[in-house]
Structure formats: structure tokens, C-alpha cells
Amino acid sequence: MIELFTWATPNGRKVSIMLEELGLEYNVNEVNIGKGEQHEPDFLAISPNNRIPGIIDPDGPGGKPIKMFETGAILIYLAEKTKSELYPSDMRKRMEVTQWLMWQMGGVGPMFGQAHVFMFKPKEDVPQAADRYHKETKRLYKVMNEQLGKGRYLANDDYSIADIATFPWVDRNNRHQVDLAEYPNVKRWHEELWERPAVKKGMDVPFYNT
């Protein structure tokens, strides 16, 4: 049984959606980042970067336990472990997915995350920062909208770990003040993904909020 250490945030939900998609059994360990539990030594032994989520797979490579942090790496690991086409075996398709996964990890996650800090119940008003991250967020939506106008999913025409990584962030569009109606291809994709049973279940771990 895989141990998942997580909280109700977009990064946490990437991994619970993936585990649901793969039908892997897992146990949820709540790490309440609002209470600072990500700094506790037991969690740091799994995620030295003090960020959720993390996993422990007792049945890792070579039959030995493996601990992992960083969602991009965890998604790749879980797909490799199960030989899932959510990370395609075909090299060209795989690189397409890798590009959009890296785009999420280096762009969407950090930029939307900063937009939330400065735009959603900010501790202090910093208009220059709010404006900068809002603009960058909208630029990323434009890129995503164009890409989703070319195909059904972010990479190729197949659902992949790139979609799984991006979806929970787009679901927080209220926090970064983006109206999905302005990005019709993203809206279509967001609605379609919500129809997947694994997405519905994974988004509710450990509980759903927007």
C-alpha cells in the first residue's frame, strides 16, 4: 500500500488523481500545511523541501521501499511503475508529454501559486506583485487555450500526466481571478476532466475546496 502525505492543494491533488487513475491502493496521511506540519522531522525525511505531497512506496524499484517528493517526479514514477500510457512509451509522444509536464512544473504551478499569494486574501496589498503574477497567469492561460485548440488534451490527443498536473491548478481559477469563459478550449477541457471518476475522487483528497 502506497503512503501518500498530502493536503487539500493543487499539488497534493495531482498525486491523488494519478493514484485513482491507476487504481493503486493508497493510504492518506494528512499534512496540515496551515499548521506547519510540513516542517516536522518525519515529513522532512520524505520531502526535504518541506512541501507536500510526498509518497512512500514500500514496493519500490528492486522490491525495496522508495520515498519521493516533487509532483512531476512522482507522476513519472507512478506511470513507470505501472507501465501506464499516461506517460507514453512512444518516444515522440513521451517527449510531448514531458514538455507540457515541465511547462506545468516551471510555469503554471509557481506563477499561479504566486498569484494566489498576492490576489487571494493577501496578508498585505502589493499591487505591483498582484499585477505581475496576474498578467503571467493570463499569459499561461492563453498558451494553454491555444494548445487545447489544437487537440483534445495538452499533449497529443491522449490524456496524460501533463493534464493531471495542470487540472487542479486550473480548478483554482477563482483564486487567480481568471474567467474560464475567456478561454473556451480550457473551459471545455476543464469540464471534460471533471467527468472522469478518478479526477472526482482524487480532487476530494483529503477534502475538496476551491
**Which helix (DSSP H) or strand (DSSP E) does residue 161 occupy?**
helix 161-170
Q: Exactly one of 52, 115, 155, 161 binds ligand GSH (CB under 6 A); which one?
A: 52
- Taking the least distance from each CB to ligand GSH, the nearer of 73 and 143 is 73
Fill in the per-residue mask, 98 to 117: x = in contact with ligand GSH (CB under 6 A), - = not in contact: -----------x--------
- Taking the least distance from each CB to ligand GSH, the nearer of 51 and 188 is 51
**Binding positions for ligand GSH, 66-95, rule CB under 6 A:** 70-71
Nearest distance in Å: CB 48, ligand GSH: 12
Q: Exactly one of 2, 5, 8, 10 binds ligand GSH (CB under 6 A); which one?
A: 10
Nearest distance in Å: CB 13, ligand GSH: 9
| C-alpha neighbours within 13 Å on the C-beta side of residue 65 | 8
**Which helix (DSSP H) or strand (DSSP E) does residue 167 occupy?**
helix 161-170
38 is an interface residue for ligand GSH by CB under 6 A: yes
Nearest to 7 by CA among 36, 26, 33: 33
User: What DSSP line would sit under 97-150, residue for residue?
Assistant: HHHHHHHIIIIIHHHHHHHHHHHSS-SS--HHHHHHHHHHHHHHHHHHHHHHHH
Q: Exactly one of 5, 8, 9, 189 binds ligand GSH (CB under 6 A); which one?
A: 9
With 0-12 CB in 10 A as exposed, 13-18 as middle and 19+ as buried, what is 210?
exposed
The b-or-e profile of 163-173 (16+ CB within 10 A means b, else e) is: bbbbbbbbbbb
168 is an interface residue for ligand GSH by CB under 6 A: no
Q: Exactly one of 4, 11, 159, 202 binds ligand GSH (CB under 6 A); which one?
A: 11
Q: Please report, as ranges, the residues that interact with ligand GSH according to CB under 6 A.
A: 9-11, 33, 38, 50-52, 70-71, 109
